[in-house]
Amino acid sequence: MTKQSLLQAALTRGMAPEGDLYEELSELGEYEIDSRSEAEALAKAMTEFVQRPLDSDEAVSAFPELTRLFQSVTSAEAFRYLAVHGIPLLIEAYDARLIDPGECENDLLFALKIFARYGTEDGLERIVNAAFSMALQDGFLWSVIFEQLSDTDPAIRDLVRRLSQPLPDGFVSVALLDWVNRLCRDEIISGHPFNTVAGIEKLRGWLVSVNEDEFTYAHASAAALPFISDPPRSELIALAMDHPDIGVQMEAAWATAYLGSDSGVKFLARLCLDPNLAMTARTYLKELKRMDAIPDEANDPDFLAMAEMCDWLAHPQEFGQAPDEIELYDTREMLWPPTNDWRPLWLFKYRYFASDDEESETHGIGMTGSITFSLLDETSPDMSADDIYALHCCWELEATEDPRAPAERSIEAGRQLIDDAQPDHIEDDEKF
């Protein structure tokens, strides 16, 4: 008898009369389906699962776990098998729960993500229907759902058409806008779905909204402008350039440059001189193949290093915004142990003002030149540059899982690593 895989065993135990399917699948963790036999086991379990009552605890808890397995397929043979035999069963389970979504909206949206990935006709039909469903159209997974769709699938154009006549409401409309913007830029589709009376009205509404939560919607609206016909395009560009968010203005400048206007290029070139905006502005100009427009001052190594630091600090996973103040703390060239090469390194002192009386200011030191990072809880502006480089050296070795990383991160260990790496550390009798 062939030994069961971990998945097959878990499904067997979970589907047994006294089994706990949710618990069994949860314990598998990030499991990969890499064989047809495992795909067959999953399809068999789905066949039994869809026949069970919807009002049971298992029917609620196990559905997302079973759905999750469909995205963990690493074998082409297994993928093809599930597309034919598994997805129809997942659709059946989805349809049954769609009758009364209750609190399982996110589970249903995740199932839509799977349908998008497999790209079957019936699955795509569920995506279209869900986009116009009041129960599902505000889910934030829509951005992920659309990006699962294959750009090379011939069905894409028909799908875009079905989602455009009419355009859906809710967050799905914004996610659709982001997706079709990219399809137009990549010339996958011709004709922008929002280039209609209804679409232009949506774009106008997002561009004039003063709700900061909708500024990202305005950003997506500005990205659509090259694909909108005049005369409404000129009006929309003016609204975008007057928008309070600089990101929307930059997107509008890119749009005008994309259309051949030199004013957009000049606008982006000026922003290259602002360290808080320089990296984004440079990215736009690079995309436009206008790197020649970047001012010489913006190419200074010290300035570029500061811009890189600001860009890192503004990342959503860091501070989420550019620093209120930033200045060069130290720069030097050394043989950097983590990379085993000579390179210039920079330390920058940054500051975030307190937003209210209950908060305190944030002061920190960040490093660029290798891995850009800030050891906020370990370094401070009152430390010496040597000590800060030492800690960053230890941290980078740890981050890259380098065997030279010390057992405990410390200034002493980092200093020793750096000192040992420098050429002047070589003993006199070894120099000759």
pLDDT digits (tens, 9 = 90+) for 49-100: 999 887 776 767 899 999 999 999 999 999 999 999 999 999 999 999 998 8
**Averaged over 160-186, what is the pLDDT?**
96
What is the band of 357 on the pLDDT scale with cuts at 50, 70, 90?
Answer: low
Which pLDDT score is estimated for 422? 87
**Averaged over 360-382, what is the pLDDT?**
94
Which pLDDT score is estimated for 426? 47
CA dist., res. 397 & res. 414, Å (int):
10
Report the chain's terminal Cα–Cα distance, integer Å: 70
Compute how many other C-beta atoms are within 10 angstroms of the C-beta atom of residue 40.
Answer: 16
What is the secondary structure of 55-80 as a DSSP string?
TSHHHHHHHHHHHHHTT-B--HHHHH
For residue 251, pLDDT over 60 is answered with yes
- Residues of the chain with pLDDT > 90, as a percent, come to 87
Which pLDDT score is estimated for 165? 87
For residue 166, pLDDT over 50 is answered with yes
Which pLDDT score is estimated for 297? 96
What is the band of 432 on the pLDDT scale with cuts at 50, 70, 90?
Answer: very low
Burial of residue 391 (CB within 10 Å: 0-12, 13-18, 19+) is buried
Element (H, E) at 332: strand 325-336
What 8-state DSSP symbol labels residue 356?
S
Tell how far CA 35 is from the center of its chain.
30
Neighbouring-strand partners of residue 346:
331, 368
Which pLDDT score is estimated for 59? 66
For residue 355, pLDDT over 90 is answered with no
Which pLDDT score is estimated for 10? 94
pLDDT tens per residue across span 408-427: 999 999 999 999 998 865 44
For residue 12, pLDDT over 50 is answered with yes
**Helices 197-208 and 215-223, axial angle in degrees (round to 10):** 130
CA dist., res. 70 & res. 79, Å (int):
8
What is the band of 1 on the pLDDT scale with cuts at 50, 70, 90?
Answer: low
Instruction: Give the mean pLDDT of the chain.
Output: 93
Q: Which of 378, 377, 292, 390 is nearest to 337 (CA)?
A: 390
**Averaged over 345-367, what is the pLDDT?**
90
Whether the CB-CB separation of 366 and 350 falls below 8 Å is answered with: yes
Which pLDDT score is estimated for 430? 41
For residue 259, pLDDT over 50 is answered with yes
pLDDT tens per residue across span 204-245: 999 999 999 999 999 999 999 999 999 999 999 999 999 999
**Averaged over 392-418, what is the pLDDT?**
96
> For strand 341-352 and strand 325-336, is the pairing parallel, antiparallel, or unpaired?
antiparallel
For residue 346, pLDDT over 70 is answered with yes
Whether the CB-CB separation of 240 and 258 falls below 8 Å is answered with: no
CA dist., res. 381 & res. 330, Å (int):
11
Neighbouring-strand partners of residue 343:
334
For residues 309 and 422, the model is more confident at 309
What is the band of 248 on the pLDDT scale with cuts at 50, 70, 90?
Answer: very high
For residue 359, pLDDT over 90 is answered with no
Domain borders along the chain are: 1-100, 323-424
Which pLDDT score is estimated for 206? 98
- Residues of the chain with pLDDT > 70, as a percent, come to 96
**Helices 57-69 and 87-98, axial angle in degrees (round to 10):** 140
Element (H, E) at 429: none
For residue 153, pLDDT over 80 is answered with yes
For residue 428, pLDDT over 60 is answered with no
* Longest Cα separation, the chain: 83
For residue 358, pLDDT over 80 is answered with no
CA dist., res. 308 & res. 322, Å (int):
11
CA dist., res. 174 & res. 216, Å (int):
9
Q: What is the rounded (10 degree) CA torsion for 89, 140, 227, 208?
A: 150
For residue 280, pLDDT over 80 is answered with yes
**Averaged over 111-136, what is the pLDDT?**
96
pLDDT tens per residue across span 14-35: 999 888 999 999 999 889 999 9
